[in-house]
Amino acid sequence: MNQDYIKADNWSIIEEGFDQEMVKSSESLFSIGNGAMGQRANFEESYSGPTFQGSYIAGVYYPDKTRVGWWKNGYPEYFAKVLNAPNWIGINVLVDGETLDLFKCTRVEEFRRELSMKEGWYQRSFSATLQNGVTIKAKITRFLSLDLDELGAIKYDIQVVNNDAEITFIPYLDSGITNEDSNWDDKFWNTTSVSSKGNRAFIEAHTMKTNFGTCTFMEAQLFHEGKKIEITPSETKEETFIGHSYPHHVKKGETLSLHKFGGYTVSTNHKAKELIKAADSVISEAIEIGFEALLEKQKKAWHAIWQMSDIAIEGDVKAQQGIRFNIFQLNQTYLGKDSRLNIGPKGFTGEKYGGSTYWDTEAYCIPFYMATKDHKVARSLLKYRYEHLEKAIENAQKLGFSNGAALYPMVTMNGEECHNEWEITFEEIHRNGAIAFAIYNYYRFTGDYSYIPEMGLEVLIGIARFWHQRANYSESKEKYVILGVTGPNEYENNVNNNWYTNYLAKWCIEYTIEQLQKVKDGYPDDYARIIGHTYLTSNETDLWKDVAENMYFPFSEKYNVFLQQDGFLDKELITVDNLDKSQRPINQKWSWDRILRSPYIKQADILQGFYLFEDHFTVEELQRHFDFYEPFTVHESSLSPCVHSIQAAKLDRMEQAYKFYLRTSRLDLDDYNKEVEEGLHITSMAGTWMSVVEGFGGLRILEDKLSFTPRIPKGWKSYSFKINFRNRILKVIVTKEETRFKLEGSEQMSIRLNGQRLELRPHEEISA
């Protein structure tokens, strides 16, 4: 943890001072993205110190051959790696012939980074003295355009401070890049052409195996004291590299600027043969508009996003900065424009984990996107799973299931499983339940039932079939049991009767049966189509029902709580506060067997179930389970604090709720887990949003209406957020004294506040 590293600020992420040790962490924190591509905050100029280079294109992956110590039947042969893409940001800078490299400069001062979350740009400035004695000041501004999402732009200003100097900018493209986490040191990219056309350059490269075609492109413009210099650059061309050289003599005190436009055109959006042509047209448009005007458009586009998705907090800058950082990163990662994409756990900020899609999407991200975007975005995420249904059925077949049972992968890029730890790949099957729940949740929130007859019911049938087959009847318990699973708490492996998994299984079956009836009644054509190809019979659904009705749930009479799994009470039940601090985090200090046999919980497990199915349990039951389990919870998953924050708020334990809130919202900014250099925790950021809106705001959908039970942390003056509920936009402002509502649009709306009905009329602010 490093609480003072990032300066507190309402709207920006700011680093001051140059610390070589922090370069990799800052590269993560200052990452930028526009949903279609993204990149770590690598320096444009040369840097010979420790760095983790990363540029990523949404949806472009490589099936790296799996490497495991001991192979188990059923492991996937390939792991879909998030691919480090060709570098277009590079600008080598020569100062009187010496390469600018902050690692080698004799002095670096006034180093500052700022990521403007409000406006969507990243700026770096510093003063540096090179080994040749020349001192320069630099200011570099960079953004990835939201409007032209194949385009990025960089403005690199250099002022010569103590001398006249010859400055040479060498903007370049480089496709000779590798992944840090390659399993077999395979070459992932094959470069097929390197070319120039005046000030433009192009590198065509395609990925091996998956054959995604890309054209990486650039064009640069040189300005001396703001005046454009027409210059034909000299070219350096290699097999996977092209650089253009822009030398210019600059007098002491003068500024030389390079505007570089670059980016990618990709065969998923263009014909493979027309990638250069498409790139050419993007550059022409960019040049036509120009850097400054593009930046203005960028600010406007981000303004529009914030209009809808901002959460404003008064009285607590760090809390404010935290939530905005989370919302900003979610929007940088996924904007919902393309149903082939999803929300990778590290977004465009690192390679770790690979794949783009985890159960995080359904369990944590969908609520954020539903409430802050058009409902099509959430629908697009659901459609993604529908499109992978065939592969989920194949995946289940590989593991011995039949008859259309579907097991969605733990990690995927294209619908195929690509993870290979048996205790997770084969056993962390609750992910299936999160997908079914998201279908339910989507309809509950948006009121758009159409997804279910059109697509969702088939997904539900595959999932219900899986649960039916995965459970088995225990003669000894006279109940159905689910053996050998890993619950959300991954600090238990291969356990029997994980309560959360069993509960989801039962619920999935019941919900599917309900939806079958509803579709049969209301959408007979869809029903006929679906029954026609799933061959579902009432015989089969009777068998499902038997499983659901007779599911086993481990329970302790003594503590009057459900047990996380069979045998939980055999553990040494020493709470976390009795654990020596030197032993934590246990995932770094303890061997795996010790973690497994301990009672310590990585992330909400039973409490995750209580979160999803809140209305199935009383507050008193929640309190009992919270009091029993939270003391054993080490929250070593980024997905844990948000759910606990929501539950603590519901129990009116606002100090605890606030502590959890800070941990989830500033997880990366304060580097709680000492690993931010590997990239950001994107999916848990949606959990932070939930902890404000659902936790503090108490947002629920009750009887088709929004309902709030607002609470406010002690140190806050107020907080506010907006909700897009069924195409009506509601702004909610919570202060210590009251809650105010402002409804946009033209229709009125009925809500509940602390259980009381409230009628809202458009453009009228109501306080209560």
Q: Which residues bind its own copies (CB under 8 A)?
A: 66-70, 72-74, 398-400, 420-422, 426-427, 472-477, 481, 483-484, 493-497, 556, 558, 566-567, 569-573, 587-594, 596-597
Is 170 within 8 Å of 92 (Cβ atoms)?
Answer: yes
Is 369 within 8 Å of 60 (Cβ atoms)?
Answer: no
Judged by beta carbon, residue 327 or residue 595, the one nearer its own copies is 595
Is 502 within 8 Å of 553 (Cβ atoms)?
Answer: yes
Judged by beta carbon, residue 567 or residue 715, the one nearer its own copies is 567
Residue 688's region, left for phi above 0, alpha for psi from -120 to 50, else beta, is alpha
Judged by beta carbon, residue 163 or residue 494, the one nearer its own copies is 494
Q: How far apart are CA 624 and CA 635, in angstroms?
A: 19
Q: How far apart are CA 486 and CA 610, in angstroms?
A: 18
* Least distance (Å) between residue 399 CB and its own copies: 4
Query: Which residues have a Cβ under 8 Å from the Cβ of 539 and sit 6 or more positions away?
Result: none
Helix/strand/coil (H/E/C) assignment for every residue in 298-327: HHHHHHHHHHHHCCEEECCHHHHHHHHHHH
The number of CA neighbours under 13 Å toward the Cβ of 375 is: 18
Judged by beta carbon, residue 448 or residue 546, the one nearer its own copies is 546
Q: How far apart are CA 60 and CA 76, in angstroms?
A: 19
Judged by beta carbon, residue 186 or residue 448, the one nearer its own copies is 186
Any idea which residue has 């014909």 for tokens? 271
Q: Which of 119, 427, 490, 492 is catalytic?
A: 490
DSSP SS3 for 232: coil
Judged by beta carbon, residue 284 or residue 472, the one nearer its own copies is 472
Is 201 within 8 Å of 173 (Cβ atoms)?
Answer: yes
* Least distance (Å) between residue 628 CB and its own copies: 14
- The torsion angles phi and psi of 102, rounded to 5 degrees, stand at -60, -20
Judged by beta carbon, residue 363 or residue 563, the one nearer its own copies is 563
Judged by beta carbon, residue 319 or residue 481, the one nearer its own copies is 481
Judged by beta carbon, residue 236 or residue 472, the one nearer its own copies is 472
* Least distance (Å) between residue 535 CB and its own copies: 23
Classify each residue of 652-665 as buried b or exposed e, where b means 16 or more C-beta atoms within 10 Å of its C-beta. ebbebbbebbbbbb
* Least distance (Å) between residue 687 CB and its own copies: 24
| Burial zone of 297 (CB within 10 Å; 0-12 exposed, 13-18 middle, 19+ buried) | middle
* Least distance (Å) between residue 483 CB and its own copies: 4
* Least distance (Å) between residue 475 CB and its own copies: 7
Is 200 within 8 Å of 280 (Cβ atoms)?
Answer: yes
* Least distance (Å) between residue 70 CB and its own copies: 5
Is 50 within 8 Å of 103 (Cβ atoms)?
Answer: no
**693-697: which pairs have CB atoms within 8 A and are 24 or more residues apart?**
693/311, 693/367, 693/371, 693/721, 693/723, 694/367, 694/646, 695/642, 695/645, 695/646, 695/648, 695/649, 695/650, 695/657, 695/661, 696/649, 696/657, 696/661, 696/734, 697/721, 697/732, 697/734
* Least distance (Å) between residue 602 CB and its own copies: 14
* Least distance (Å) between residue 421 CB and its own copies: 5
* Least distance (Å) between residue 353 CB and its own copies: 11
**Two tokens at 353?**
């984990």
CA distances from 754 to 650, 697, 709, 715 (A): 12, 10, 5, 22
Q: How far apart are CA 546 and CA 556, in angstroms?
A: 24
Secondary structure (DSSP) of 506-545: HHHHHHHHHHHHHHHHH-HHHHHHHHHHH---HHHHHHHH
**Two tokens at 310?**
């901002």
Q: How far is CA 461 from the centre of its chain?
A: 28
Judged by beta carbon, residue 523 or residue 628, the one nearer its own copies is 628
Reply yes or no on whether 109 is catalytic: no
Neighbours of 674 (CB within 10 A): 11
Catalytic residues: 490
